[in-house]
A and B are shown apart, each in its own frame.
Chain A
């Protein structure tokens, strides 16, 4: 199976692991990630204002390319996924916005939200299947107690993201179980880490991040997994004393495709 893939700027820089292990694991599962040509940064956050157009064009360009190739568009970073999926939804539902974008882009056939957008986790669940994933695991992570940290961007706004029950999600726990580990459920898993506000108000981010980590630990977690580089940064920077790793790294480990990198 071939899918279009939008890596995003952080995955080519500070979050190289998230990208590298996504590629390797997909390969092991029989999925080829075809990187969008000349992709541009999604901007990190979706601007909800209807009259904000220019900042959403990079997402539309990626969506249009996937559409031309008749492939679903897969993202790994929570933020890219959120921005691209919300932009796609706006192209489907907001005629004014879509008209402005299409007039500006002036591309053959235009674009009106035809592409199916999948987060990598959704690709595993809906296109590969967690049962198939389970069969391909060569290195089951038996006995490991792992807490999934969803944060905000994978799940909300639910009317658009539509990934899972936003208050009681299971997709990451099912993923953890498919890899042979134990999933730790805790109440703060879909609360905010503080996000970009850590630029200006580090104390706010610290409070939010610590609340997440402490809650996960209180439920017995030995490790936290995330799909978001900013969540990882905030959790680690604010003193998480259990490992916080990208879900793709865990996946690569279980699939036996994680090379030792001397880290």
Chain B
């Protein structure tokens, strides 16, 4: 008989997660088109006066690493929230089209309003993400049976395709915009600056707070709206708040790094497979797994693309797409 509902393997999973996170951080600092030696790594991290080339490379990679950890954590938690809100195991910002909505607004901002500061990017991306989320959810809930997983994914894919073509249509005639935008659009953490990291922090904290505070009620909602209402959850309010958290986290990541797909999906899935469905544990661990997945993908992109680099958005799409297909097939079979 268990005395508390903490999953038995949670301590072990937490420790493994943190160790992996540490390994990722070291890898992200040391690996890339220029490999750094151990003493250079130490110099770069701890000896500010050291001015070897290696040490300065390491210092440049610190902000990039922090940024990719934040983005990964935000995407992981955003995925968990969206999966709970839509009660859909394959929900992810990129699959629901929320990323693309954020992209469209940012492109419009670049093309028509000549935006350039991080806060302008964030504002527009959040607006685009929120509007798209509402739109896709609205379309997905039309007809019989409400917002079923299948209809949501279909609505998300269709919306995403339509918005992508709009993005292209706006970009193509404007070659000056192209350059600014092309890099952003693939999804990359390479250009991260400390000011981008600083702009990220308040949104990350707000989104995480929402996620942690709604987790117990989301657990209740996982048993169906009727059970949740019977347990005293205001399901309408909860959906709205949790969706807001998800959109906030994904929107701000998209604003600063560009659209990065599948991280939320993968991060949450791996954790749910290992820990079970209790969101009070799934959400914090998804932050860790998301950070690990994104940082590993970034390091892989640097190694594969060397001497240049492959943007992290490309890497996650390559890993994520086949896994999505697998999961979709599995969930379809379950529902049959």
B is a partner of A: no
Please give the residue numbers on chain A whose beta carbons come within 8 Å of chain B beta carbons, in ascending order: none
